């Protein structure tokens, strides 16, 4: 659990993180250069993780600093006496820790293939991607449409290398990425199951995947294999927003979401091991909250991941989430999860860096 923080300090930290989730930070090239030294502070390997990963107290942050929307950021990043400082609303927050990108960025395996195309480390977690591309065409996502499954041996070798990385000690693994098409479903299931069996004795292994006709069965299979948790994402709650932003996923995956979450909760329980992400900023606040309520009623932890526009997508110039809307979503979501006996996820504090979640949202004993 986090250190004790009084109510006024919590509100200031919440306002800081909300502002950063909305529009990142303003920072001069000189500031970035002074903070980074000989290191790289960030890579744009994924829209929601492409910022400065840092910690203020027990609050973890992912702060974009070089996106188009950062020009109007409420938060300024400066260096004072050699320390990174975040300025917001008349307050200054010293950065306690800046997390580097992994040491293997830019390195290649024996076949000349980049390790960070397959695996990437974020704070205390690695994300391992079995699929190149995606079967779906969501408006906010930059994954290409062509699908190719990576061989198990390459995935396992990349994961071993990331787990041994000296820069970022790893506590858990998330198997995630694009979704398989119908022709790849069985091979995907076999590969992911083998990965869970291989690595779950060493680290906690979670799987993030889309729902479909056979995913409830796959959830049970992964539970038998030793999976720690499942992330089964709603993303957009309303039918109107889902049609526009999820496109083919609305037709092919969404009808199976509730039964897949229910199967996961049945096997893994309601203690945070089953999560479903929803994206504030892509639909009216009321629709987002209806989605939060639906997820919570199923016994899963809702994860609030505010919309962040990514280059090369249909929403590349779409305005980010508004801070006032995020405040409203956070306050109402806290009431919803309390009513249903779940919590806002993720419960892992470092994994909260790019979500609208705080250490004090984690229940005692989690």
Q: Average pLDDT in the 229-257 region? A: 96
pLDDT of residue 48: 83
Nearest-angstrom CA–CA distance, 364 and 366: 6
Does residue 39 surpass a pLDDT of 90?
A: no
Domain boundaries, the chain: 7-98, 115-361
Which pTM value belongs to this model? Answer: 0.95
pLDDT at 2: 53
pLDDT of res. 146:
82
Does residue 346 have a cis bond before it (omega within 30 degrees)? yes
Q: What are phi and psi of 173, to 5 degrees?
A: -125, 140
Q: Among 3.20.20.70, 1.10.8.100, 3.40.50.970, 3.90.76.10, name the CATH number for the domain at 115-361.
A: 3.20.20.70
pLDDT in tens, 236-248: 999 999 999 999 9
**Confidence grade of residue 46 (pLDDT, cut at 50, 70, 90):** confident
What average pLDDT does range 88-106 have in this prediction?
94
Cβ(121)–Cβ(226) below 8 Å? no
> Which residue is listed with tokens 């639906």?
294
Helix (H) or strand (E) holding 85: strand 83-88
| pLDDT value at residue 151 | 95
Indicate whether 167 pLDDT > 80: yes
CA distances from 74 to 10, 19, 129, 185, 316 (A): 18, 6, 34, 44, 21
Residues 290-342 pLDDT 10s: 999 999 999 999 999 999 998 889 999 999 999 999 999 999 999 999 999 99
Beta bridge partners of 61: 54
pLDDT of residue 111: 83
Q: What is the pLDDT of residue 1?
A: 44
- Residue 255 neighbours by CB distance under 10 Å: 12
Q: Which ranges constitute the DSSP H helices of 246-364? A: 248-252, 257-268, 285-297, 323-340
DSSP state of 362: S
């Amino acid at each position: 659990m986090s250190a004790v923080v009084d109510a006024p300090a919590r509100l200031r930290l919440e306002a800081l993180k909300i502002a950063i989730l909305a529009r990142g930070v303003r920072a001069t090239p000189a500031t970035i250069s002074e903070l980074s030294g000989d290191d790289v502070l960030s890579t744009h390997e994924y829209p929601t993780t492409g910022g400065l990963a840092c910690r203020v107290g027990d609050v973890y942050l992912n702060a974009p600093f070089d996106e188009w929307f950062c020009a109007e950021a409420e938060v300024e990043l400066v260096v004072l006496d050699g320390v990174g400082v975040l300025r917001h609303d008349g307050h200054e927050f010293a950065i306690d820790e800046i997390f580097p990108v992994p040491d293997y960025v830019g390195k290649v395996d024996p076949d000349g293939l980049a390790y960070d195309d397959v695996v990437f480390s974020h704070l205390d977690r690695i994300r391992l991607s079995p699929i190149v591309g995606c079967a779906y065409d969501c408006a906010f996502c930059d994954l290409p449409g062509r699908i190719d499954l990576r061989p198990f041996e390459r995935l396992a070798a990349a994961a071993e290398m990331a787990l041994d990385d000296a820069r970022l000690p790893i506590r858990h693994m998330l198997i995630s990425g694009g979704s398989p098409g119908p022709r790849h479903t069985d091979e995907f299931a076999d590969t992911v199951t083998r990965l869970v069996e291989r690595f779950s004795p060493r680290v906690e292994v979670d799987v993030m995947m889309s729902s479909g006709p056979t995913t409830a069965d796959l959830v049970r299979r992964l539970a038998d294999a030793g999976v720690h948790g499942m992330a089964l994402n709603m993303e957009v709650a309303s039918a109107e927003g889902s049609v526009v932003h999820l496109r083919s996923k609305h037709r092919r995956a969404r009808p199976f979401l509730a039964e897949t979450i229910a199967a996961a909760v049945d096997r893994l329980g309601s203690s945070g091991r089953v999560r479903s992400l929803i994206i504030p900023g892509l639909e009216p606040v009321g629709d987002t909250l209806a989605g939060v309520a639906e997820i919570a009623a199923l016994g899963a932890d809702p994860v609030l991941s505010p919309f962040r526009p990514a280059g090369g997508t249909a929403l590349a110039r779409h305005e980010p989430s508004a801070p006032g809307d995020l405040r409203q979503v956070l306050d109402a979501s806290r009431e919803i999860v309390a009513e249903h006996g779940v919590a806002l996820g993720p419960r892992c504090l470092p994994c909260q860096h790019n979500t609208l979640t705080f250490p004090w949202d984690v229940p005692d004993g989690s």
